Amino acid sequence: MAKIWQKSVTVNELVENFTVGRDREFDLQMAAFDVLGSLAHTQMLESIGLMSANDLQLVQQELKNIYKDIEQGNFTIEPEVEDVHSQVEMLLTQRIGDAGKKIHSGRSRNDQVLVDLKLFFRHELQDVVEETEKLFRLLIELSEKHKDILLPGYTHLQVAMPSSFGLWFGAYAESLADDLELVLAAYKITNKNPLGSAAGYGSSFPLNRTLTTELLGFDSLNYNVVYAQMGRGKTERIIAQALSSIAATLAKMAMDQALYLSQNFAFVSYPDTLTTGSSIMPHKKNPDVWEIMRGKCNRLQALPTDVAMMTTNLPSGYHRELQLLKELLFPAFTDLKNCLHMATFMLQNITVNADILNDPKYAYLFSVEEVNRMVLNGTPFRDAYKQIGAAIEQGNFNPDKQVNHTHEGSIGDLMNAEITAAFDKLVGSFDFGKVEKAVEKLVF
């Protein structure tokens, strides 16, 4: 079958297979968004006189039928069809005739792909935010539930000072709140309309780009048509930074979990059904979920570099290797969402050890507490430091294992309410409701 861009020359099959690559595979994930873009674009075409009201009605109804097929899993990209854009246009033309041939006026596959990607990324980022929110709220809940249970804090992997499960869980919650700042930045840059930039230099048709922006629920346009095309690659890089930030938080938490679950620490435990065994060692309870998560999230932290290497030093304008960015970003969204989901699932089943500090090896945790008590009673800090150090060396250190941390963000004042308020404010900044209303209006 001839391609929608093909003229009288047939492209060599080897060249076609190499250049198309995995596009069909990833384009299936964009199918619904391709239809949304066309629903908005054709409304705009009718508004400027490039499509009749009758043709618009035909096109809109059939696009909505295709959208339903996609939602129900009844849509495929046929082997001889190059990509999702060609498949949708071909179906339209087969079903309603010449009206289907008119939907590409004022549009290039370049800006069609761009708007599809923006809509896809926007949807995926919403999923990431929702999964992050579930994990955040569970971490805050666990922090409050276990705020009075102490555990050792470490520096250089050496026993250092008292910490608490409240601090430990709460630290990862606040880390996710900061990660969400980057996701919000990525969402804001994603939520701008490139449609109407055509091949990157605009169109001689009197396109109404503001209308398609409103119809698709975008916050604003990528105004400059050259920059709209330059945004491909840049948008992906910024999204990659946001995803890698969440991944870094999860990787560190996964490492803590694997460490704390080991017999040498025994700070936490999980039901046997959530750990795995050994083929020869019957006592083993391996933290495979956390280890796989650590590996996946470490790989995700390389994502910004992968995207940068794909796009560095490209001049302005479209270049075919940009399609390879799908192979980086699409699986990354899937992996990160799965990791967030599994982290929430595992933590719903965690049990903490309430008696960790009864072990005498943790007595030195309280050395700073003893120094501080002496200072509060009038001893200069350096003198108190030397006296406690001497007691430790002589084996005469018998600390009072009580902590009196009351300042903001310490064991006695976790500031979880403030962390939650900041997180809630961030989540509210995404304004997902506006997008959902726009999409619903387009489709129904």
What is d(CA 243, CA 124) in angstroms, rounded to the nearest whole number?
11
* Chain centroid, CA 233 distance in Å: 17
* Interatomic CA distance for residues 63 and 43, integer angstroms: 12
Residue among 9, 29, 13, 12 nearest 83 (CA): 29
Q: How many helices (H) and strands (E) does the chain have?
A: 15, 6
Q: What is the pTM of this model?
A: 0.92
Residue 1 has a pLDDT of: 46
272, with CB counted inside 10 A (0-12, 13-18, 19+), is: exposed
SS3 of 150, please?
strand
Residues 42/56, Cβ–Cβ less than 8 Å: yes
Q: Which helix (H) or strand (E) holds 256?
A: helix 225-261
Domain boundaries of the chain, sorted by first residue: 13-102, 109-149+162-357+414-443, 359-409
Distances (CA, A) of 123 to 49, 84, 216, 281: 31, 18, 12, 45
- On the question of a common fold for 13-102 and 109-149+162-357+414-443, the answer reads no
Mean pLDDT, 10 residues at a time, the chain of 444 residues:
53 71 83 97 98 97 97 92 90 94 94 96 98 98 97 92 96 98 98 96 97 98 95 95 98 97 93 76 80 97 95 88 93 98 98 93 87 91 92 87 88 96 97 96 94
Listed residue (234, 241, 121) closest to 182, CA to CA = 241
Rg of the chain on CA atoms, in Å: 28
What CATH number should be reported for the domain whose range is 13-102?
1.10.275.10
Domain 109-149+162-357+414-443 classification at class level? mainly alpha
Q: Which of 351, 39, 16 is nearest to 217 (CA)?
A: 39
Beta bridge pairs of residue 154: 159
Spatial distance between the Cα atoms of 77 and 82, rounded to a whole number of angstroms: 8
The pLDDT, as a whole number, for residue 5 is: 46
Name which of 392, 365, 350 is nearest 164 in CA terms: 365
